[in-house]
Amino acid sequence: MPNSRRFRTEQFLNRELSLLAFNRRVLAQAADSRVPLLERLRFLCIVSSNLDEFFEIRVAGLKEQIKLGSHAAGADGVPPLEVFRRVTDEAHQAIAEQYALLNGEILPALEKEGIAFFRRSLWNDAQRAWIRDFFLKEVMPVLTPIGLDPSHPFPRVLNKSLNFAIELEGTDAFGRSSGAAIVQAPRALPRVIQLPKELCGVDYGFVFLSSVVHEYVGELFAGMNVLGCYQFRVTRNSDLFVDDEEVKNLRIALQGELPQRHFGDAVRLEVADNCSEVMTDFLLQQFGLARNDLYRVPGIVNLVRLMSVPDQVDRPDLMYPPFQPGMPKVLTKRYDIFASIRRQDILLHHPFQSFTPVIQLLQQAADDPQVVAIKMTVYRTGTDSVLMEHLLRAAEKGKEVTVVVELMARFEEEANLSIAARLEEVGAHVVYGVVGYKTHAKMLMVLRREDQGYRRYIHLGTGNYHPRTTRFYTDFGLLTANPEIGSDVNEVFKQLTGLGKASALKHLWQAPFSLHSKMLGAIRAETEAASAGKPARIIAKMNSLLEPEIIAALYEASAAGVTIDLIVRGVCSLRPGVKGLSENIHVRSVIGRFLEHHRIFYFHANGKQNIYLSSADWMERNFFRRIEISFPVLEPKLKRRVLKEGLKPYLADNSQAWEMNGNGEFRIKPTRRARICAQELLMADMGVGAISVA
């Protein structure tokens, strides 16, 4: 791993602040009146979900460093305590803006559209009677009030769960009078409850579970007086720790570690803004938190739960128009997937083109008697994945099925453990990659017996084998029978399942061995070309840009005259457009209907126009702590497609593209040109009804 200390700290932006800036761009989608109203609500929820993970992982890491007394700074040179201070200020401000947008714009706009959230103070008699009945029948039976006294200490509160702190007066049947109790809301209870239409006066009426509990919590404390009821939520450190040197069995170690995720150290406390100071101080004390870890919010403490609302109302006019992905021209008629791949390489561009060909490759492989083996990596795929069903069927039919399951895929560990167990039950070979290196590469190999011998059919992708996310994430996938690429993929699988030295690969760049040096080499080749007065160009699209040596190489390339365009969705530590440092580097971030996810790397290469697709961002973890691949697009026709679909529209976008300046600030520049939206252009060009491309 490179030593970032040999670079000047002022050349880098802070990772955590850059991540919060990304969430500000997502929040701007919720504020954009051009976005359909229910989609604005969804974006608001996405911000909350992102911030939850930010606190669980990034803030938790900062607090661990501070607790250990570490002064070790990142590439930007800012020590952990100062980063935490800046992050806390920025997070408080962003969350305040989020709730102001919810309460001031989105909820009133929804009410005008007949989608209302009824506050307790506005319930009429009929609504109140229905809600009380719902509480008594559906809610109260599953609530367990815990009075706080010497025999009932403060309970263990699950990560991100909804809880209520109750202030009481009076004594109970045993003469106890602690003055406080905790009520935990089971996750089985809906956080948003839909009322019968006849009671609402609008098409869709909802109440929050927090309002219902608040109104009737007294039913849980007979004969006592409830002085206050305050919802709260605690966010905990959710990063799992498995000692690479001590672990003997990764699966068993992980199974032992997972339950603790729900009870890690507290890092944030959210309370409703009506919470008394006495109760607030009490909760902070119980969780070992300081005042700057407190977030008072004017509304429910978990906006993620509002994500269910768009699915509960039938208002397509308030959502994005339906979109049906197209199919490549070579696959539009009844086809044999193996014959189609033998005929030519096939490029799939999701979500604009269907993921179905990948599913059909596995389906036909499972049923084809000529297929003898299937190998696949699994990072995120979902517990009910149709891909897994085809793998299971293939194993049941006696084919050699080998699956490399990444058990340490964050927040997918339980799902992947379940998948691994099911595969093992039917005789598949399940391996967990290499301890200490996450297997993040997206690879599928089918070995088929044919007239000339065995042939390998390969799928390589920039995104996960997850049929649901392929409808919302932009990714490229390549289907090929190229024997050299097939040989490379086979070598990588041999590394993952067996032992031995890493072999040189013909086409693939692989982390942790060659990917970093190859990327640096490609950047430096452009630098040399520019220095010699030749054309030089770099275009790169990714989720995150953090790795110091790559950034330094880009600065050198800029100084030599290389034109560099970077499309970075999320975190970017590079400072673009700085005089004397990066005048020739432009950075933009595209935020829209779909999550921009593909990684594309274009190098002019003296006119060869080398294009690589990858599962890897330009981050230290991807280069040095993960098993990743970057694969070339070899066919000229497909190269042109990647340029036409994956890069040029995003460079031309003036609707959803945020331009970044050297201080890390983003803005959408006003323009008088005709509106260009990359995602809309691709939907129009590639969806069903469009003239599909090969």
Residue 663 belongs to domain with CATH number: 3.30.870.10
Both 486 and 560 in a single domain? no
pLDDT of residue 424: 84
Residues whose CB falls within 8 Å of the CB of residue 5, separated by 6 or more in sequence, listed in order: none
Angle at 482 between CA 638 and CA 606, to 5 degrees: 50
Instruction: Give me 416's structure tokens.
Output: 């992947």
Both 305 and 356 in a single domain? no
What is the residue range of 366's domain?
329-507
Both 575 and 437 in a single domain? no
Both 489 and 537 in a single domain? no
Both 595 and 528 in a single domain? yes
Both 464 and 517 in a single domain? no
SS3 content of the chain, % helix, strand, coil (to 5): 40, 25, 35
Both 407 and 519 in a single domain? no
Both 205 and 87 in a single domain? yes
Is 440 assigned a catalytic role?
yes
Residues constituting the chain: 694
Other CB atoms within 10 Å distance of the CB of residue 621 = 19
Both 501 and 523 in a single domain? no
Q: Report if residue 117 sits inside a domain.
A: yes
- Cβ-contact 1, 18 below 8 angstroms: no
Q: Report if residue 530 sits inside a domain.
A: yes
**Number of domains the chain contains:** 3
Distances (CA, A) of 618 to 54, 462, 564, 665: 19, 13, 15, 20
Domain end, chosen from 318, 338, 358, is at 318
Residues whose CB falls within 8 Å of the CB of residue 35, separated by 6 or more in sequence, listed in order: 29, 43
pLDDT of residue 62: 94
Write out the H or E segment, with its range, that includes residue 667: strand 666-667
- Mean pLDDT in order along the chain per 10 residues (694 residues): 60 95 97 97 96 94 91 89 96 97 97 96 95 96 85 84 92 68 92 95 95 95 90 87 44 48 81 95 96 96 93 96 92 84 96 95 96 91 79 92 76 67 85 84 96 96 90 97 97 88 91 97 98 98 97 97 98 96 97 97 97 97 95 97 98 96 91 90 87 46
Angle at 560 between CA 552 and CA 609, to 5 degrees: 90
Tell me the Ramachandran region of residue 456: left when phi exceeds 0, alpha when psi lies from -120 to 50, beta otherwise: beta
CA dist 479 and 7 (Å) reads 40
Q: Report if residue 254 sits inside a domain.
A: yes
Which among 214, 390, 440, 466 is annotated as catalytic?
Answer: 440
Both 606 and 639 in a single domain? yes
Domain end, chosen from 490, 507, 524, is at 507
Q: Report if residue 323 sits inside a domain.
A: no
Token match 């993040």: residue? 440
Both 17 and 139 in a single domain? yes
Q: Report if residue 66 sits inside a domain.
A: yes
DSSP output for 486-517: HHHHHHHHHHHHS-SPPPPPSS-EEETTTHHH
pLDDT of residue 552: 95
- Nearest alpha carbon to residue 480 among 344, 621, 640, 291: 344
Domain end, chosen from 507, 539, 574, is at 507
DSSP assigned state of 372 = E
pLDDT of residue 244: 45
3-state secondary structure 540-590: EEECCECCHHHHHHHHHHHHHCCEEEEEECCCECECCCCCCCCCCEEEEEE
Both 189 and 237 in a single domain? yes
Write out the H or E segment, with its range, that includes residue 358: helix 356-367
CA dist 545 and 110 (Å) reads 38
Q: Report if residue 392 sits inside a domain.
A: yes
Look up the pTM and report it.
0.92
- Cβ-contact 197, 127 below 8 angstroms: no
